[in-house]
Amino acid sequence: MNFSRFYNQFSHLLRIFLLSLTILLISRLNFIRTYGQFNDLQGHGIDLIKAFYVGLKFDIQAITYGLAIPFALSLSLIFVPGRQSAYYDFVKRMTYIFSLLMLAVFLLLLIIDFYFFRFFQFHLNVLFWGLFQDNTTAIFKSVWTDFPTFRIILCYSILLVFFSFLLRKISAKEYKNPYSSTAGKILFVLTLSILYGLGMRGSLDKFALKNEDAMVSNNAFVNTIGTNGIFTFKNGISDLSVQYINTDYMAELKKNGFSSPQEAIGQYLGRRIDSSEDLMQSLLSTTKTDTFLTRNPPNVICLQMESFGNHILNYHSPEFNLLGSLEKQLGSCILFRNFLSYSDGTIETLEGFLVNNPFIHISQSIYMNVALSSSCAIPYQKAGYNTSFVTSSQMGWRNMDLFIKNQHFDHVEGCEIIGLKIPETKMNEWGAYDEYMMDRIFQILNEEQEKPNFIFGMSCTNHTPFTLPETFRPLPLNIPKSLKNLIVTNEELALKNFTGYQYGANCLGQLIEKIRNSKFRDNTIIAATGDHNARQVFDYKDSQLLQKHGVPLLLYVPEKYLKNCRVDTSCIGSHRDIFPTLYNLSLSGATYLNAGVNLLDSAAAKNNDAVTNYYFTAFNKEGCVSLPEPLFYKWQTKNPLLLEPTSPEQSPNLLKLMQRAKAYKASMSFFIQKDILRFYGKN
């Protein structure tokens, strides 16, 4: 037994382990220093200790996996005769190579995770891979322009050289074996192997260390401290491997805590579902029969605006002008501000709008060709409308060209068609500038007048790298001091973001103004909202979940279509309520998927639940619940738009909110799954 060389090599690995642990600790401290709201962390001292303890376990697990091959090679030295110095040199060389490779990968992931969190406000996950399904050239250009890329690369290279130097210094040192007896040597190796295995497992419990173990507090930021980008990146790879639409609806129901579709749908609808009832039909609603709408069907335009968040509007002023021409149109519109997006990502929100999709990316699954009966265009198509989808983006983005054409749109157009129809169109990395998409929408209204029009538009200009047409002249954007103090990115990037916001809002305002000054003013309804809030500029506290996920909903409705509407813009709503509202405004006796409420009926909207990211976060007038590890919040008494932690015991109605949110997700999942099975003749 060649124990001396094993002990010497283990001593090297121990020092490499401690070096790696120090790097991860420094990374965690820098993460807290950069993103932590220290006022919010007061009173969470015990939780912070727990988070660091869990974080230590996550770090140990990552390092032990990273050093697994060098550790195995070190163990093999025990069984190699002492004279085989060539093999010992090989093990030392492999240990250096694998250790440097591990540190290089870890450091790269920690850097990416740091900036990923700045943009999305959560650690690396499966969404990271979605960046490569976007316009990859534009993504890398955005990275180069929005982040200190050259400085990052330089620092990364210097650190790798430094790590290489340290590893060589560690490898050069020899350590004397302290054990003389065979029993002591065997006990040392066995103990070390057991501890190493525990380090890889990360837990003495029944289950190995998992992401949920980081949930140690009722403070959401504290729960982000424990894990690290290495572990969440690994989870993202696992999630990617199972990113498919599971048509086993019973498995999905059980995952959400329901034993049958009747139970889930019954809880969602708030009534008993009879065993003989057609479950798909039970999830449908019908608008009232209205002879006026039958004779006077309005045009309907629904716009999903890139990064059109709600929170920033609180700072709009003549000196910090975020709205441009939209400001003059607000007096003719209905504006909901207590409003939430489907998700924090563009494609997720788009699929939520188009088909009420609660899964990850149908458009990038094997079911992209399924014509879903939950499509938002079906009620309009059945009512004799011309249905159009228009985006300033490239139609090849996220398989939109393959997916949307199956969702009951008569015409599907991207920037390629816009460029042909409007020759003066200017392009950026993502497609056509928004103003040309708005012009194309108005053009369609003029071209297709034999039928009423339903047009869904998706903009893309207000997106990194925030390039704007040379003809655009921004209005004043002097960032107020109160806002400067809240910005977590560099001021130049923030100003680009604000200017892109102004441009998008200005384009929307110009479209509304053009319609109001045209023959379409009295027969065209417009709904406009953001796909999500832009989160890279601000760091939102737990109390600001409404602001973090909030987007405005703006409705332009001609007076004659507002008859009998009782509007309360203070109600809480979300994207799922937009089409139920539009259907009830514009269609007579139309059947549609019951995914939300009519926001222009104050009685229906009064007790509404709003959801974002499907069932990850749900809101109502009582407060908010955030899943999957339930965190409960109630509205503050002094500031009813801000939240404060509570418990199910203090706020029992939030338990009901959580259950309804789960029931909503399970019901929508069931509808999509049954639709897919029916499409393939399996139902």
Q: Beta strands 591-593 and 284-286: pairing type?
A: antiparallel
Copy the structure tokens of residue 387: 């249905």
pLDDT at 336: 97
HSE toward the beta carbon, residue 304, CA cutoff 13 A: 30
pLDDT at 18: 95
The rounded radius of gyration (Å) of the Cα atoms in the chain is: 28
The secondary structure of the chain in percent helix, strand, coil, rounded to multiples of 5, reads 55, 10, 35
Pairwise pLDDT comparison (80 vs 663), residue with the higher score: 663
Same domain, 433 and 464: yes
pLDDT at 37: 77
- Residue 496: is its pLDDT beyond 70? yes
Domain boundary among 187, 221, 241: 241
- Digit-coded pLDDT (tens) for 347-390: 899 999 999 988 767 887 778 888 999 999 999 999 999 999 99
At 556, which helix (H) or strand (E)? strand 553-556
Same domain, 353 and 470: yes
DSSP 148: -
- Residue 242: is its pLDDT beyond 50? no
Same domain, 264 and 378: no
pLDDT at 135: 59
Same domain, 620 and 484: no
Amino acid at 197: G
In terms of phi and psi (left: phi > 0; alpha: psi -120 to 50; beta: otherwise), the region of 95 is alpha
pLDDT at 222: 85
CA-closest candidate to residue 40, choices 630, 520, 642, 448: 642
CA-closest candidate to residue 424, choices 465, 387, 470, 380: 470
CA-closest candidate to residue 342, choices 572, 111, 530: 530
Q: Is 334 helix (H, G, I), strand (E, B) or coil?
A: strand
Mean pLDDT score of the chain: 89
Same domain, 564 and 650: no
Q: What is the CATH number of the domain that holds 435?
A: 3.40.720.10
- Digit-coded pLDDT (tens) for 46-61: 989 998 998 999 999 9
Same domain, 251 and 386: no
Q: How far apart are CA 15 and CA 422, in angstroms?
A: 65
With tokens 């993103």, the residue in question is 35
Share of the chain above pLDDT 70, in %: 94
Same domain, 470 and 576: yes
Q: Are 613 and 207 in contact (CB under 8 A)?
A: no
Same domain, 231 and 272: no
Domain boundary among 593, 608, 623: 608
pLDDT at 374: 95
Same domain, 631 and 642: yes
- Digit-coded pLDDT (tens) for 118-155: 776 778 876 676 566 555 666 667 777 777 888 899 99
- Residue 1: is its pLDDT beyond 70? no
Same domain, 534 and 671: no
How many domains does the chain divide into? 3
HSE toward the beta carbon, residue 424, CA cutoff 13 A: 8
Domain boundary among 190, 218, 241: 241
In terms of phi and psi (left: phi > 0; alpha: psi -120 to 50; beta: otherwise), the region of 248 is beta
Question: In terms of DSSP H, where are the helices of 202-325?
Answer: 220-225, 229-241, 249-255, 261-269, 279-282, 291-295
With tokens 């060649």, the residue in question is 2
Copy the structure tokens of residue 122: 């959560």
266 lies in which domain range? 244-277+615-683
Record the pTM: 0.77
Same domain, 59 and 183: yes
Same domain, 234 and 255: no
- Digit-coded pLDDT (tens) for 171-229: 888 877 777 777 878 888 888 899 999 989 888 876 688 776 787 776 778 888 888 88
Copy the structure tokens of residue 487: 């910005």
